[in-house]
Structure 1
């Protein structure tokens, strides 16, 4: 990808890319990103989780935050996003868990930037913070069973664990401070069983729970400090 600001920039980029066919996308005025994770059963039944706000670093999801309830000042925005996700699932006659990511522009417009036909990284918070997590919903949908509840029982901050945390500042490999993570009482550690840690590789995640998003973020700050992950409390 190359960002261009003028016709001359575009011509230089086109030449630099070897003159192959390219897609020119608008440069959007982004505010933040949200994702809607939902499930649709074989009979058309649908459930939707509370949308999560996502933060990325180097193109990889780093943090997802999900409140206990939809904030009052975002009810209209989240309702529009939810209705759009439901419309997409209905139009595709989709069955299973679906993740839809939206760019929220500064003027309030929504732009779909990803549709994931599977349990989604930004929906990992549902494993601990919702009545029925996204993986349970996937099994229910595939088996033709009624879908479970999608209501949140607490707020949650999900921290992605990349292979980077297995290396210190000098590049030497080390074992992350799992004991420190598990000393945070509201932290739920999920490791994926991958045998080799590499920079940028998704190795697991931590769900940090709380009765409020503020308290969940406080716990997440402690976890991030243990793992050497950048995090804004």
Structure 2
């Protein structure tokens, strides 16, 4: 099939920043795109060939959207899989496959998949409703502390809470959930695996993630991770096993814990470009967004090596600020060598909302980390 400057049409469900960055690559190669999102102000709107307003969870909207595209992909997991399955049955290429999406959409199903396939993960208990947890604690079935996770619709720190006392359960939604044993870890790591339709597979270097303690969001992504070669190899092997067992096509971002004894546990996965791969736009020979396009179209996979060390800093809305966004001190960080800001195009900010990111590249990872700290302390995402 001819993709470039042709009638071929790629459909993307989701019009946020990940979709916007995918569109950088489709525009580079002159691939026609059609995007659907529920927001009339979606960042993707200005860069795609065709924009459709619609709910990603609505069967009819997703089904109708996908009927006239040649390949359909996602930039967010929360989509109507029943509609995708029907499209798949009718011959539309849906990538990642709906089977993979069904497993990943529900955190309880995802965790059971790991245990069923011999993939190391933290011990957990599954509950139909959050209200069942208190009885389990009282009867000795569950020990404090643990991490509560909503089975569905959690992202960017939402739907996750550390429960240290029974009182911490107050206010949590009464939904299907899991209670996961707390992991004593040295580092939180991630590996992005790319797999194309021909079965060709490659991985990006292991990255290290530093999280905001309150928002449970990634603040820094550091590539390469500051770990031993043996640990990096073990992390890569586990990530490859997850991708293989899930039969993923496209990108699979595998988030991992490095335990105190250098074991590797899978936390969770995302079947799409991921925050942990944003550094690759400036630091890698082939960035993650181009790689996803290559993979789902069955093109040869690109070189995943880094040209230089890279660190990503997330730009999130400052606490106490809601409304029209203002980026303070942008000129200051633009004076710094190796610093590249990416603004996602969201006009309204709120506390901890992802509004952009900044990549810092340097031959020296230690120096890059110091610059990243300076960037984090300098730029502010506030409101008018």
* TM-score, length of structure 2 as denominator length: 0.52
Secondary structure of 2:247's aligned partner: coil
Of 1, 23, 35 in structure 1, the residue corresponding to residue 190 of structure 2 is 35
Secondary structure of 2:228's aligned partner: helix
- Deviation for aligned residue 1:221: 2.8
Instruction: Name the CA distance, whole Å, in 2 between partners of 1:148 and 1:18.
Output: 43
| Aligned twin of 2:230 | 76
Please give the residue correspondences for 1:1-233 in structure 2 after superposition, counting only pairs within 5 Å.
7=140, 12=166, 23-57=178-212, 58-67=215-224, 74-164=228-318, 167=321, 174-228=326-380
| Aligned twin of 2:121 | none
Instruction: Name the CA distance, whole Å, in 2 between partners of 1:174 and 1:19.
Output: 37
Instruction: Name the CA distance, whole Å, in 2 between partners of 1:13 and 1:77.
Output: 38
Instruction: Name the CA distance, whole Å, in 2 between partners of 1:90 and 1:22.
Output: 26
- Deviation for aligned residue 1:15: 8.2
Runs of 4+ in 1 over 3 A off after TM superposition: 5-24, 165-168, 171-175
CA offset digits 1:35-94 (Å, max 9, x no partner) = 001211111111111111001112111111113xx76x6111111111111111111221
Question: Which runs of 5 or more residues in structure 2 are unaligned?
Answer: 1-129, 145-164
Q: 1:186 to 1:44 in 2, by over 3 A?
A: same
Instruction: Name the CA distance, whole Å, in 1 between partners of 2:293 and 2:300.
Output: 10
Instruction: Compute the RMSD of aligned alpha carbons.
Output: 3.3
Report if the CA contact (8 A) 1:166-1:175 is conserved: no
Report if the CA contact (8 A) 1:166-1:174 is conserved: no
Instruction: Name which of structure 1's ranges 108-117 and 8-17 shifts more when overlaid on structure 2.
Output: 8-17
Question: Which runs of 5 or more residues in structure 1 are unaligned?
Answer: none
Secondary structure of 1:42's aligned partner: coil
- Deviation for aligned residue 1:212: 1.3
Instruction: Name the CA distance, whole Å, in 2 between partners of 1:214 and 1:15.
Output: 40
Q: Give the aligned length.
A: 224
CA offset digits 1:150-203 (Å, max 9, x no partner) = 0000001110000218959xx997432111111112101111111111111101
- Structure exhibiting the larger radius of gyration computed from Cα positions: 2
* TM-score, length of structure 1 as denominator length: 0.84
Report if the CA contact (8 A) 1:186-1:219 is conserved: no
